Structure 1
Amino acid sequence: MPIELRRLRALRLAWGTALTLAASFGVGLPVPFLAPVLAVLLLAMRAQALPLRAAPALALLVLFSAGSGLLLIPLLRNAPASGVLLVGLGLFLCFRYLLQGGNGLLANLLVIGLSMVSAAGTGDFTLALSVVEALAKGMLLAVLGAVVAHVLFPEPADAPAPPVPPRLDAGEVNWIALRATLVVMPAFLLALIAPDQFMPLIMKAMSLGQQTCETRARHAARELVGSTLLAGLLAILLWGGLSLFVHLWMFFLWTLLFILWQSRRLYQAVPNRQTPAYWVGCMTTMLILLGQSVQDSEAGQDVYRAFAIRMALFLAVSLYASAMVVWIDSRRARVRVA
């Protein structure tokens, strides 16, 4: 890929994400960090422009995927063991579908619906509806942000298509989908206890589940824990810069700068050894941490204490994800030998 094309895609990702973040916080969505996270997924997974008419279709797709979580709420309330097992099975099938070359955006939306929406609804059905509303509105904003970014930085007609990842055999797919499911399930169980407190942890676990699909056991700690630590450091630096002059447009400009720094490395405009999943996970984690800190500040809570607790939880789930990768890979090696 030519270096100019890499820079172009990095600029597109940064501008699309920053514009979506400014719009999301500007209009006051219920869960404002969801829209920029979805924008990162849209722009990182697709090099071609998404037609504007696709926005309502994607919003309907969000409602469909979130509906799967709403249907599970009665089962989780009345037969929790069966409900948890059904959620685990659904997550496994979603990750399996993704690994077999399925639509990444659809898989992510289904994971969010099965985990976030169903967990929110077990405590308060109104909270589940607010998550669904935030997802639908966030998707609309993410598509609009992606369209504007493609207008500002259009993809050249002769640009090479992104490389297609190699297909895995059925045995590999099942093992990797299993370890991704085991990464997400503890965060889901915690969210069942206190949905309003552990929603960001589910988003982080979902991001780690995606990373484990591309991470080998030998590099698990460096990839999973390293991206979380870097995201925390970048979130602290961005928060420090924002505190110098608190304004929505300064939030936009600081986010643009920090996402551009990461997206240049995602597209190898700045050569590095990390995988694309590492940088996508780092960007989404940084946005989740920042979004929650802004909401904590608006609610009058102790931002630094809340950030420390959230960061500790994120690191804990990252270490757990690393352990799952190593354990599942060792089990898979034993099965092969047998």
Structure 2
Amino acid sequence: MVSRAPMPLAARRTFRLAFTTSLAVALGYGMGLAIPFIVPLLAVILSAAPAPPPGPKKLLVLVVAVMFSLGIGILLGPLLQSAPLPALLIIACGLFFSNRLAIAGGKVAPATLLAFGFTVIPAASSVSQALASALIASLVLGVVLAVLCQWLVYPFFPEDDARAPVAAGPTPTESGWLSLRATLIVLPAFLLTLTNPAAYLPLTVKSILLGREATQLNLRDANSEIIGSTLLGGILAIAVWVCLSLAVELWFFAGWMLLFCLGLASGAYGVVRTRFKASFWIGTLTTMIILLGAAVQDSANGKDVYQAFAVRMALFMAVALYASLAVALLETWRSGQLLKRRKTDLSGVG
């Protein structure tokens, strides 16, 4: 009897992310959630790291933590109207803490959901408590459905039994600097969202994910990866939309997402060798999901999909350009400060 060779680990991770995301698309849109693209977006955030899915106890803890962090956003919404400056300071501190939790603590998924609680929910709550409540319900249910998709897919494409070595994290000083940098990337998009939360909420979501992506890049790679992943995500969103127009069915939508996710995940996990890091391909995938989700909602609401997409894509590119410029300026300023400090230390020694 001939034994089959096990599937390579990189291939398993690729199929796992693609099938989890595709199943999340089917569940999110099939159940008619208020914001259905939240489910596949959360599926990518929770599944991108090569690790087993959380168990029932961890899921319960995650749901409680999500409800707590999103509840903070409900309280900050009225404060934005009555005392905007203190509210913005609290939001900035909350963003910094969430970024620090992701960078130093390695808890990317809870930190991202906490960032949503400090930005997306207050923006929606400042306009309508009903909108904020619908967002919270979608996010909490989205987390549960995303983990359910992980549970269903993981047994077919598991990790190896041996634990992968954990990479050394940044120093406390470095993680603080990266957290500050990510916070400064998110804040302008959040301020723009406050002018029209119903229209610009996807922009804040994108800026949060962009800030996470920027923390994994150095100055040399920032321009090509931040701008490139945003542009490629928009191009692929158009491609999926054109493919979907051939047959407007939920299962076709999930199938097309499966194919496109397979291509992007193969780049993220090294099945296809490229010069880009995994963050580039994951950033492209999340951008594609956000833009597609917004386009589907525009179509359902009777809006001009192509005009809305063009405006949204222009805003996404503007945020990407700002993020790239901000990284360059901040790193240049920091390098100058470090150089001055070294000269001061050398002169003191002399």
Equivalent-residue separation in structure 2 for 1:217 and 1:54 (angstroms):
36
Q: 1:246 aligns with which of 222, 239, 248?
A: 248
Structure 1: give runs of 5+ residues left out of the alignment: none
Asked if 1:322 corresponds to 2:320, the answer is no
Counterpart of 2:105 in structure 1: which amino acid? Answer: G
Counterpart of 1:148 in structure 2: which amino acid? Answer: L
Equivalent-residue separation in structure 2 for 1:138 and 1:262 (angstroms):
22
Q: CA deviation at 1:125?
A: 1.3
Q: 2:155 aligns with which of 148, 151, 155?
A: 151
Q: CA deviation at 1:100?
A: 1.1
Q: CA deviation at 1:156?
A: 3.3
Q: CA deviation at 1:184?
A: 0.5
Q: 1:133 aligns with which of 130, 134, 137?
A: 137
Q: Which residue of 2 aligns with 1:184?
A: 186
Q: Which residue of 2 aligns with 1:258?
A: 260
Structure 1 segments, 4+ long, off by >3 Å, are 52-57
Structure showing greater radius of gyration is: 2
Q: Is the 8 A contact 1:49 1:155 kept in 2?
A: no
Q: Which residue of 2 aligns with 1:82?
A: 86
Deviates more, 1:172-181 or 1:34-43: 172-181
Q: CA deviation at 1:124?
A: 1.0
1:208-254 Cα deviation digits (max 9, x unpaired) = 10011111112211010000011011111111111011100000000
How is 1:103-122 mapped onto 2 (pairs within 5 angstroms)?
A: 103-122=107-126
Q: Is the 8 A contact 2:244 2:252 kept in 1?
A: yes
Q: Which residue of 1 aligns with 2:233?
A: 231
Structure 2: give runs of 5+ residues left out of the alignment: 1-5, 341-350
Secondary structure of residue in 2 paired with 1:244: coil
Secondary structure of residue in 2 paired with 1:173: helix
TM-score by length of 1: 0.95
Q: Is the 8 A contact 1:3 1:269 kept in 2?
A: no
Paired residues in the alignment total 335
Q: CA deviation at 1:86?
A: 1.3
Counterpart of 2:322 in structure 1: which amino acid? Answer: Y
Counterpart of 1:279 in structure 2: which amino acid? Answer: W
Asked if 1:284 corresponds to 2:289, the answer is no
Q: Which residue of 2 aligns with 1:8?
A: 12
Q: Is the 8 A contact 2:13 2:50 kept in 1?
A: no
Q: 2:166 aligns with which of 157, 164, 188?
A: 164
How is 1:43-82 mapped onto 2 (pairs within 5 angstroms)?
A: 43-52=47-56, 54-82=58-86
Q: Is the 8 A contact 1:201 1:314 kept in 2?
A: yes
Q: Is the 8 A contact 2:50 2:159 kept in 1?
A: no
Deviates more, 1:292-301 or 1:316-325: 292-301
Q: Which residue of 2 aligns with 1:34?
A: 38
Q: CA deviation at 1:60?
A: 2.0
Equivalent-residue separation in structure 2 for 1:14 and 1:45 (angstroms):
13
Among all aligned residue pairs of Structure 1 and Structure 2, give the percentage whose two residues are the same amino acid.
42
Equivalent-residue separation in structure 2 for 1:3 and 1:222 (angstroms):
32
Q: Which residue of 2 aligns with 1:303?
A: 305
Decide whether aligned partners of structure 1 residues 219 and 155 sit closer, same or farther in structure 2, where only a CA change above 3 A counts.
closer
TM-score by length of 2: 0.92
Q: 1:208 aligns with which of 183, 194, 210?
A: 210
Secondary structure of residue in 1 paired with 2:325: helix
Q: Which residue of 2 aligns with 1:124?
A: 128
Q: CA deviation at 1:50?
A: 2.6
Equivalent-residue separation in structure 1 for 2:329 and 2:233 (angstroms):
25
Equivalent-residue separation in structure 2 for 1:329 and 1:84 (angstroms):
25
Equivalent-residue separation in structure 1 for 2:167 and 2:181 (angstroms):
19
Alpha-carbon RMSD: 1.5
1:173-222 Cα deviation digits (max 9, x unpaired) = 22211110011101111111111101100111011100111111122110
Q: CA deviation at 1:58?
A: 2.5
Counterpart of 1:312 in structure 2: which amino acid? Answer: A
Equivalent-residue separation in structure 2 for 1:30 and 1:88 (angstroms):
28
Counterpart of 2:63 in structure 1: which amino acid? Answer: A
Equivalent-residue separation in structure 2 for 1:226 and 1:58 (angstroms):
32
